Structure 1
Amino acid sequence: MNDKVIELLGTGASLGGVVLSHKVLGSVWTRVTGNPPPAKNPDPSETWTAIIIWSVITGLVGTVIKVAVHRQVAKMENKSQESPKASSQAEV
């Protein structure tokens, strides 16, 4: 597969994964706390502790997803670059 196509698919997968995880985390947060996540809750009485915890959790999960997807994309790019070399060596 073309490296640009792999890169675009990786970016799309990364964005999709982050959006999906944010929705899941928001649902879990609401179930556990009984309140919507601080990012969508305009309530001025929201505690800074809740805001910080929400930020850390979503930032951590989002970063892990992005890194995992980009590592997988790098592996796919390496395999696609190695394939022509292997076939050309086999032909010799």
Structure 2
Amino acid sequence: MGDKMWSVATTAAAIGGGVMAKNVIETTWKFVTGSNSPSNPEDPEVDWGEAVAFALVSGAVVQLVRVWINHKSTEAYTKRKGHLPESVAS
């Protein structure tokens, strides 16, 4: 697998990770608050505290999923090729 193929595979995994992150965010939000996550936190009718809390939770989850996917895909590439992809090594 070349660097271009690795890049495509990582992008596809990131898209899947985005879907996974959305599900984790919605499930976590409902578990913690007992209500559905705000459909649009920027809506002025959404309480400011709720909007900020949602931004913090969703940002953290998305970033954790992104780092996890990139770490695992880089690990798989390195195991297969014996070296880091150029885009990571530079």
* Aligned residues of 1:6 and 1:76 also touching (Cα < 8 A): no
Q: Percent identity?
A: 25
- TM-score, length basis structure 2: 0.68
Question: Where does structure 2 lack aligned partners over 5 or more consecutive residues?
Answer: 84-90
Question: Where does structure 1 lack aligned partners over 5 or more consecutive residues?
Answer: 84-92
* Aligned residues of 2:41 and 2:54 also touching (Cα < 8 A): no
- What's the counterpart of residue 19 of structure 2? 19
Number of aligned residue pairs: give it.
83
Q: Which has the higher contact order (CA 8 A, sep 6+)?
A: 1
- TM-score, length basis structure 1: 0.67
- What's the counterpart of residue 60 of structure 2? 60
CA distance in 1, matches of 2:11, 2:69: 8
List 4+ stretches of structure 1 deviating above 3 A. 30-36
For the pair shown, the structure with the greater C-alpha radius of gyration is: 1
CA RMSD of aligned residues (A): 2.6
- What's the counterpart of residue 6 of structure 1? 6
Tell me which protein shows more helix as a share of its residues: 1
